[in-house]
Amino acid sequence: MNATRCETSPTTKSRFAGRAALCIAVLLALSALSPTASAAPVQWTIGSGGNGHFYEGVLFGADINWPQAKTEAENRGGYLATITSGAEGDFLVNSVIPSDSFWQVDTRGPAFTDLFGPWIGGTQPTGSPEPSGNWQWITGESFSPALWALGEPNNGNDEMYLHFYGKFGVKENTWNDYRNDNPAGGGNIRSFVVEYDAIPEPATTALVAALTICAACYWRLARHPISRKVAIVNRQG
């Protein structure tokens, strides 16, 4: 009497393991794309006097300069936040970046009490009149009002990028001109604010999609492995 049974071949097992490893590698790579942490975007609603845009405070896992922050914001589907009114800036400080984690203390010691807040989307092109000439938003919006902190801008060491700056340890909607590196000590900026014109796609969506695809592949491989038939000859007694 002849009978047959399906048995997964060593080649199939190797392919299965390889595909599973690939799925895991993809997930790990996606999760490591950017060492950032952020809260859910907050809308400045039209009903409350806002523009309907969404804002997200992003805490980077290390020091970050302005060009890097600009790229990160664009990769998230938005842009570095632009502030065209005092009310908009107050909303960001009070509702988007109120946490101390977004504001870095001065590293030069307790005598220096100013806070270095997140990057925003203001810049001064090279060759502009110093210290306050030709500042502009990356969106082309009017750079008015200019809500500089006391004594700023001062163009110390070729400062051409904009961030929130809290004088005397107070978190508020005032700004400072700053540079990308910090050789003289002071604040090391580790955060930025992203603005979205419409509701953004959650940052976890890509990971969820990848996980779903990998799970589907795993299930299909488990249920329908490439198999070969092995003839089993049963001797009759």
Domain span at residue 74 reads: 36-196
Give the CB-side neighbour count of residue 198, counting CA atoms within 13 A.
1
Q: Cα dihedral sign for 100, 104, 107, 110?
A: negative
> For residue 128, is it within any domain?
yes
Q: Work out how many domains the chain is built from and give that number.
A: 1
Average pLDDT in the 188-208 region?
A: 76
Q: What percent of the chain has pLDDT over 70?
A: 66
Contact between 160 and 124 (Cβ < 8 Å): yes
* Length in residues, the chain: 237
Name 95's Cβ contacts closer than 8 Å, sequence gap at least 6.
42, 44, 55
> For residue 167, is it within any domain?
yes
For residue 71 the two structure tokens come to 């790229």
Question: What's the pLDDT tens digit per position in 73-111?
Answer: 999 999 999 999 999 999 999 999 999 999 999 888 888
In the block, residue with structure tokens 């988007």: 96
Report the pLDDT value the prediction gives residue 224, as an integer from 0 to 100: 53
> Residue 61 maps to which CATH number?
3.10.100.10
Name 68's Cβ contacts closer than 8 Å, sequence gap at least 6.
none
> For residue 206, is it within any domain?
no
Contact between 104 and 188 (Cβ < 8 Å): yes
**CA 186 to CA 22: how far, in whole Å?**
44
**Which of the 8 DSSP states describes residue 15?**
H
> For residue 136, is it within any domain?
yes
Question: What's the pLDDT tens digit per position in 109-168?
Answer: 888 899 999 999 999 999 999 999 999 999 999 999 999 999 999 998 789 999 999 999
In the predicted structure, residue 9 carries a pLDDT above the cut 80: no
pTM for the structure as a whole:
0.72
From its phi and psi, is residue 143 left (phi > 0), alpha (psi between -120 and 50) or beta?
beta
Q: How would DSSP label each residue in 85-134?
A: SHHHHHHIIIIIS-SGGGSEEPTT-TT---EEEEEEEEE--TTPPTTTTT
> For residue 85, is it within any domain?
yes
In the predicted structure, residue 235 carries a pLDDT above the cut 70: no
In which element (H, E) is residue 80 found? Answer: strand 79-80
Tell me the chain's radius of gyration from C-alpha atoms: 27
> For residue 29, is it within any domain?
no
> For residue 225, is it within any domain?
no
Q: CA 98, 46, 148 angle in degrees (round to 5)?
A: 45
Contact between 174 and 167 (Cβ < 8 Å): yes
Distances from the Cα of 68 to the Cαs of 127, 142, 189, in angstroms?
22, 24, 11
> For residue 207, is it within any domain?
no
